Structure 1
């Protein structure tokens, strides 16, 4: 299926590693010109090099989106953008008892206000050109939070909420706004957490055993495994594509059935 991404320019925030990298690489493989964003020059350049080695088109942009100045610099360096994927974010697994109000404020700046900054810089150009895609990376914790990391779950809820508001504001412009909500995805950091839990809980001995235990007790879902970064990237590419013109304000859950409601 031709997704119609040739000659489109995509900015994927936080794409020097993890989910963001998988998204950037798949968009490039589908023909988009990709702006790879990160804060570490070596990691960001490595993603660009990998995309180019696979005959894709990519450039690197560095900057801290948690500041007005950093976000403005990234947007200016990126140029006109057709597809904005707000992936950059932060979590630390802290509990209610561990969190200060300053830490609540910090994660809100990184996970929510940075998204607003990039929307404010990039979306006006989409409006003028009459076409665009804004895709937020959210998560199931926005809808069904747990006791741990309440500050992180609250920022995901904010991302989901602001996306629907943005979609309403973009009505009739040719620009859409949607959410991709991953479940537990097997990135390097997730693998590390699962292996630590496996040691604590006696899961094993093989990775297959550990993953099944995690998907049954720790991240329960109906598929019985963790998701893969490429599965999130595929959802993003579809929502960015010419085939998603009639989808806006949607929450596309890619979580193996973890969230069990019908809303």
Structure 2
């Protein structure tokens, strides 16, 4: 299937690793010119270089979206070679804390990085999409938005806010040719997930090796119809679809990519 992304320019925030990296690579493979964003120059350039070696088009921007000045600089740099048609708000911040550990300061920091940073990029880039009559905004959310765990409450709440703002934006974009949607991943096997699960596995009796730990971790933490962790490319594919002309009739939607996750207890 040709997603018709040739001639489109996409900024994927937080794309120097993880889901953002996978998303940028897939959009580039579908013909979009991608802007790789990160805060570490070497990691960001490495992703862009890999895309170019594969025949895609990629440039880089560096900056901290958690400040007004940083976000403005990223938006300006991202549009140097042309307007941004696709904004994937992926960048986010996670810290595993208990309710007792999650101070008001932690809550405020998480909200600023995970919610307001995306709002900053929307405010900088979406007005021009409106003027051109075409655009795609995809927010990466998560299942914890609707099925929060008892831990890291500050993070759970920011995911709910991300889902909410994306739908509100879709309503505001009515009739403009610009859509706003959410991709809601389950537990995806990026390196950080593997490290976390491996670290807590032995103490919970899941085993010592990854081969032992993984099936027990899935059953204990993310019981789902597919019986496994998700893959980054499965999230990237959902994003790519929402960016395409095939999703022109999809706005204000949340696409769950979680294996049919049913979380009933923790």
In which range does the TM-score fall when normalised by the shorter chain? over 0.9
Secondary structure of 1:11's match? strand
Residue 209 of structure 1: how far off its partner (Å): 3.5
1:190-234 Cα deviation digits (max 9, x unpaired):
000111122212324653432211111112211110000000000
Q: Which residue of 2 aligns with 1:209?
A: 212
Secondary structure of 1:145's match? coil
Map of 1:147-186 to 2, 5 A cutoff?
Answer: 147-186=150-189
Determine the C-alpha separation between the residues in 1 that align with 2:110 and 2:103: 11
The alignment status of 1:131 with 2:141, answered yes or no, reads: no
Q: Which residue of 2 aligns with 1:113?
A: 116
Residue 259 of structure 1: how far off its partner (Å): 4.4
Map of 1:1-263 to 2, 5 A cutoff?
Answer: 1-79=1-79, 80-204=83-207, 207-259=210-262
Q: Which runs of 4+ in 1 moved over 3 A?
A: 204-209
Unaligned runs of 5+ in 1: none
Determine the C-alpha separation between the residues in 2 that align with 1:2 and 1:219: 33
Instruction: State whether residues 140 and 259 of structure 1, in contact with CA within 8 Å, keep that contact through their aligned partners in structure 2.
Output: no
Instruction: State whether residues 48 and 60 of structure 1, in contact with CA within 8 Å, keep that contact through their aligned partners in structure 2.
Output: yes
Secondary structure of 2:34's match? strand
Residue 49 of structure 1: how far off its partner (Å): 0.5
1:8-63 Cα deviation digits (max 9, x unpaired):
00000000001100000110011000000000000000000100010100001000
TM-score normalised per structure 2: 0.96
Instruction: State whether residues 19 and 229 of structure 1, in contact with CA within 8 Å, keep that contact through their aligned partners in structure 2.
Output: yes
1:45-86 Cα deviation digits (max 9, x unpaired):
000010001010000100000000000000000011100000
Determine the C-alpha separation between the residues in 2 that align with 1:111 and 1:30: 28
Determine the C-alpha separation between the residues in 2 that align with 1:246 and 1:170: 13
Instruction: State whether residues 223 and 263 of structure 2, in contact with CA within 8 Å, keep that contact through their aligned partners in structure 1.
Output: no
1:135-194 Cα deviation digits (max 9, x unpaired):
000000000111100000100000000111100000010000000000000000000011
Instruction: State whether residues 223 and 262 of structure 2, in contact with CA within 8 Å, keep that contact through their aligned partners in structure 1.
Output: no
Determine the C-alpha separation between the residues in 2 that align with 1:32 and 1:232: 17
